A and B are shown apart, each in its own frame.
Chain A
Amino acid sequence: MAKAKTNTSNGAKTKDVLASHGVTAKIALELMQEMLLYRRFEEKTEESYAIGKIGGFCHLHIGQEAGAAGVIKVLQPEDYAISAYRSHTQAIAKGISPKAVMAELYGRVGGVSGGKGGSMHVFGRDARFFGGHGIVGGQVPLATGIGWKIKYSGENLVCVCFMGDATVNQGGFHECLNMAAVWELPVIYVVENNEYGMGTSFDRVSKTEISTRAVPFDIPASSVNGQNVLSTFEHFRNLTEEVRAGGGPRLVELRTYRFRGHSMSDPVSGTYRSTEEVERHKEESDPIAILRDQLFAEGVLDQDTLEEMDATAKTIAAEAADFAEESPMPEPEALYENVWAETNAHGRLFFDGRRT
């Protein structure tokens, strides 16, 4: 991360930044610890991918950690969260153990889905993290259905639906915003705008800004600096309680930036964005550096403590990788398990001739 500065342009000039966001030092330090964990977890993921321990498509959240930490921190454990494929950190934030997430990336039985989901399909039923979805926008109808369930059952809960900026150009997104508005569903649609859908900048393929997409449905929309975790936390704390109180759906743009390529197979920069652009963002809008500067200025964190916290994060990430490494591959029998919810009493379900 960028070196500490005495002055930054990110709101750390004043000493009362915590008070102005209504955030206690305790919460702020927890957010720091969580973001450090997400950063170190994803770096460990990157490392494991590079040596072939993790395969397939693997999308890192490095640079976007404030979204996972700041949004999910405001939720109750019973609240729901659902996301797309850049969701390792969100899954951890919602309460799935880093070990179970890493083992899933390794495709091992200790993985949260027994190794059958992989990086893009991290699920935690008990943690109320409903995936982990690989098709752009595919989780948006599901989130709307979770909101439907909450309302149907009269529960005092909310569902947070994370998506990337490109999702707002999918038809299903608009269908769901309409339904959520008509039925006043307690769903917070969170668009993590990292400026690029893979290698296509949002502006090149979008006529209007993200927040305007809520206008046709009369859904209150807002935009928040997703690199400033205190702003994110404050924004969502207030908004979540409005939704919980029956205020209907919300659309929030989280302005952020991805420090890595779209997936592990993609370059960090190149034809679609310059190295200079990426470096500038890393220098100016690293969410961990921003919070660090704020907390240094506030006097609630010093370099030694930060290093201890970082060491803790690195240890947890390393232990997750160790756990994944030691967890066995799934048994061959697992191939045919969980295709169907239960053993069928009658008739054949499998047709490959190997299993009837």
Chain B
Amino acid sequence: MATMTYREALNEALREEMDRDPDVFLMGEEVAEYDGAYKVSKGLLDAFGDQRVVDSPISELGFAGLGVGAAMAGLRPVIEFMTFNFAYLALDQIINNASKLCYMSGGQFKVPITFRGPNGPALQLGAQHSQSCETYFLHAPGCKVVTPATPADAKGLLKASIRDDDPVAFMEGELLYNFKGEVPEEDDFVIPLGVADLKRVGSDVSIITHGKMVHVALQASGKLESEGIEAEVLDLRSVRPLDVDAILETVQKTNRVVYLEDSWPYAGTGAQVVSIIQEEAFDHLDAPVLRVTQADVPMPYAKNLEALAKPSVERVIESCKKVLYR
């Protein structure tokens, strides 16, 4: 195992996949000379040259679509959005083109493209730069959505995403880039999409979550432990494909579930997971499933309001106790 930051793990994944496959290229704003707005692509320009590590103009719709066209024609683009907030400008290309081309063409065209970049609420960035964007990419069939929480997951899942023949929205945690963790040193460390990971084993309540919220869940479960409550933390890792078996397994084990996410509640990932649980594991539930989400408001700037809007350790603890009737 090697200890490295989430940022370094992503960089390694890009480097290894670009080494491995000459059809892989990286395009986006500031990815080359500036080493990436979040330094994820540091050193890649020197390593691979300006044909494969490409600074784009600020034209999200244009360069996202360029990537889709290049993917249709046989390349394997990695398109970086400086943040996923800016991907909204490119939604027509992602939803109407990337996600539907395989279907509309009767399977003639695959679109092996990875859209990646930071996602999720950050610190005092206000309403437009601080939000979780998963739902927009999950809603239409045809796009996979991956949300790594740790350096190891970041590396293994990014490699899998780049190799995947479907479009993948690879959503990195904006506040996780400096987070350090152990990453296996094996030659070709790939984590398949669609396999959840039990980040903490517990028996009293299941906190199911994805992305950066895994860490909030772990903090909450640490505090719950001191009160004699053993929470299980299931990290979905990819929300489409979704590891339904792992969800049902933890429900059957603890019979009590809290879904934690930093997206808004309406049509969020949690809404889908709750629907699956009530349809497929109703008899295993000892309490209604609760969700802890971002407040149903645009992200405010003021520090105190921002803290109120985000899912907190305290709100998770409170919900866990509620489903335990404590």
Give the CA-CA distance A340 to B98 in the complex, in Å: 11
**Cross-chain contact B66 with A113 (CB below 8 angstroms):** no
Give the CA-CA distance A279 to B11 in the complex, in Å: 63
**Cross-chain contact A149 with B69 (CB below 8 angstroms):** yes
Give the CA-CA distance A138 to B90 in the complex, in Å: 11
A301 within 8 A of B: no
A197 within 8 A of B: no
User: Among A144, A338, A340, A342, which residue has its beta carbon within 8 angstroms of that of B62?
Assistant: A144
**Cross-chain contact A133 with B97 (CB below 8 angstroms):** yes
Give the CA-CA distance A140 to B165 in the complex, in Å: 22
Q: Give the residue name and chain of the B residue nearest to A178 (CB).
A: B57
Shortest CB distance B148–A (Å):
15
- What residues of chain B lie closer than 8 Å to A339, measured between beta carbons? 102-103, 141-142
User: Among B93, B164, B195, which residue has its beta carbon within 8 angstroms of that of A347?
Assistant: B195
B96 within 8 A of A: yes
**Cross-chain contact B107 with A347 (CB below 8 angstroms):** no
* Stretch of B28-36, B108-116, B124-132, B209-217 on the interface side: B108-116
- What residues of chain A lie closer than 8 Å to B66, measured between beta carbons? 141-142, 144-145, 148, 176, 179
User: Among B56, B72, B240, which residue has its beta carbon within 8 angstroms of that of A349?
Assistant: B240
**Cross-chain contact B105 with A172 (CB below 8 angstroms):** no
Interface residues on A, range: 35 or more
**Cross-chain contact B51 with A353 (CB below 8 angstroms):** no
Contact of A142 with B194 at beta-carbon distance under 8 Å, contacts A175-B57, A176-B66 already known: no
Contact of A346 with B106 at beta-carbon distance under 8 Å, contacts A138-B93, A149-B75, A172-B62 already known: no
Shortest CB distance A167–B (Å):
13
* Stretch of A16-24, A114-122, A245-253 on the interface side: A114-122
- What residues of chain A lie closer than 8 Å to B62, measured between beta carbons? 141, 144, 172, 175-176, 178-179
Give the CA-CA distance A113 to B272 in the complex, in Å: 31
Contact of A144 with B65 at beta-carbon distance under 8 Å, contacts A125-B109, A347-B242 already known: yes
B59 within 8 A of A: yes
Q: Give the residue name and chain of the A residue nearest to B64 (CB).
A: A141
**Cross-chain contact B69 with A347 (CB below 8 angstroms):** no
Give the CA-CA distance A102 to B105 in the complex, in Å: 15
A51 within 8 A of B: no
**Cross-chain contact B241 with A346 (CB below 8 angstroms):** yes
Give the CA-CA distance A228 to B50 in the complex, in Å: 43
**Cross-chain contact A145 with B96 (CB below 8 angstroms):** no
A54 within 8 A of B: no
A303 within 8 A of B: no
B288 within 8 A of A: no
Shortest CB distance B198–A (Å):
15
**Cross-chain contact B108 with A123 (CB below 8 angstroms):** yes
Give the CA-CA distance A117 to B102 in the complex, in Å: 10
A146 within 8 A of B: yes
B238 within 8 A of A: yes
**Cross-chain contact B65 with A176 (CB below 8 angstroms):** yes
A341 within 8 A of B: yes
**Cross-chain contact B74 with A149 (CB below 8 angstroms):** yes
- What residues of chain B lie closer than 8 Å to A117, measured between beta carbons? 104-106
In A141-188, the 8 Å CB interface with B consists of 141-150, 152-153, 171-172, 175-176, 178-179, 182
B295 within 8 A of A: no
Shortest CB distance B176–A (Å):
22
**Cross-chain contact A344 with B193 (CB below 8 angstroms):** yes
A287 within 8 A of B: no
A337 within 8 A of B: yes
**What are the interface flags for B147-178 relative to A under an 8 Å C-beta threshold, 1 for contact and 0 otherwise?**
00000000000000000111000000000000
B117 within 8 A of A: no
Shortest CB distance A116–B (Å):
5
**Cross-chain contact A178 with B59 (CB below 8 angstroms):** yes
Shortest CB distance B183–A (Å):
21
Q: Give the residue name and chain of the A residue nearest to B60 (CB).
A: A175
- What residues of chain B lie closer than 8 Å to A135, measured between beta carbons? 92, 96
A236 within 8 A of B: no
Q: List 10 A-B contacts (CB under 8 A).
A: A111-B106, A117-B105, A130-B73, A145-B70, A145-B71, A176-B65, A338-B106, A342-B165, A344-B241, A348-B194
**16 new A-B pairs (CB below 8 Å) besides A153-B74, A341-B107, A347-B240?**
A123-B106, A130-B69, A131-B101, A131-B104, A141-B63, A146-B72, A148-B70, A148-B75, A152-B25, A152-B70, A172-B92, A182-B57, A339-B102, A347-B243, A348-B194, A348-B244
Binding site for A on B (CB under 8 A): 25, 51, 56-57, 59, 61-75, 77, 92-93, 96-97, 101-112, 141-142, 164-166, 192-195, 238, 240-244, 272, 276, 279
